[in-house]
Amino acid sequence: MIVTVTPNAALDLTYRVPVLTPHASHRVTDVTERAGGKGLNVARVLAALGHDVTVTGFVGGATGHALRAHLTRVPGITDGLYPVAGATRRTLAVVDTRTGDTTQLNEPGPTVTPAEWAGFLAAYEELLRGEDVRAVALCGSLPPGVPVGAYAVLIRAARAAAVPVLLDTSGEPLRRGVAARPDIVKPNADELAELTGAHEPSRATRDARRRGAHAVVASLGAEGLLALTPEGTWRARPPGPIRGNPTGAGDSAVAGLLSGLVRQLPWPDRLSNAVALSAATVAAPVAGEFDAAVYEDVLPKVTVTGAEPPTQ
């Protein structure tokens, strides 16, 4: 089983319009609603790949009730969300179907009390004690009230339980989380630059790894992934650009990395799967899904270059 943690889960709404024009009224041609937030997107992709996944994080209010109802319809996902008094946030994605560009509006999330944080932490540690837990992913932003060092606490708990942990967040939670030595950290180029102050990806990934991450996998958008690991350094590139909605592409890359981790695949194969899943998500209509035909087409065409470190 894989556990994904989404502290700031959301009810995702996706609107599709023929053309998005500022200061104008729009006729929406299609509306999609589903359980969202980075860790829930990761979980949905993992479940589609055949993994058993338990999702946790905070959930509350009518929005949270709707989110949990959506989860019951996803095979392979177990709801381990922790209830709070505040209401789960909503996110709104507006997709311009002419260009494929997406405009995203994200609410801040519920305010979590100290007692709710303590209760969640106890429930999380109980999950980690399960004999079948093979990996944990910590994903996304923190809602108001949760300590900025929360991910560092969750990483140390996973390490104490000997469960591999992947971190995918940004800003100060990323900075503090990296120092707790996660097994994998997966920032995008902007998050990596903010963390390290370096805008050149190779230099920035080296700096991030020196800060404590066991392995750093940087998402470079349409350019693919750059991975710096104890086993070597690799660049994984898709065969070409994919037109569509990029929302959730990074989450699918995380799912590919986790799937490869629990299947004990070598790093080049993990990266190929992550890049192909990311591309296939761009081709899908909403985050947390991937186009299976695009995935099968792209996977053998991903180019992975690099080398293992020299033997001592």
Identity (one letter) of the amino acid at 24?
A
Annotated catalytic residue, options 251, 269, 291, 297: 251
Q: What is residue 283's three-state secondary structure?
A: coil
Q: Does 291 participate in catalysis according to the annotation?
A: no
Q: Are strands 89-96 and 10-17 parallel, antiparallel or unpaired?
A: parallel
* Euclidean distance between CA atoms 280 and 296, whole angstroms: 9
Give the Å distances, CA to CA, from 14 to 17, 29, 79, 156, 160.
10, 11, 23, 36, 39
Can you tell me which residue has the tokens 């469960």? Answer: 163
The continuous run of DSSP H or E covering 297 comes out as helix 292-298
21 contact partners, CB below 8 Å, separation of at least 6 = none
Question: What does the alpha-carbon distance between residue 308 and residue 115 come to, in Å, rounded to a whole number?
Answer: 47
Terminal-residue alpha carbon distance, the chain? 36
Token pair for 181: 């030595």
Task: Give the residue numbers annotated as catalytic, written as ranges.
Answer: 251
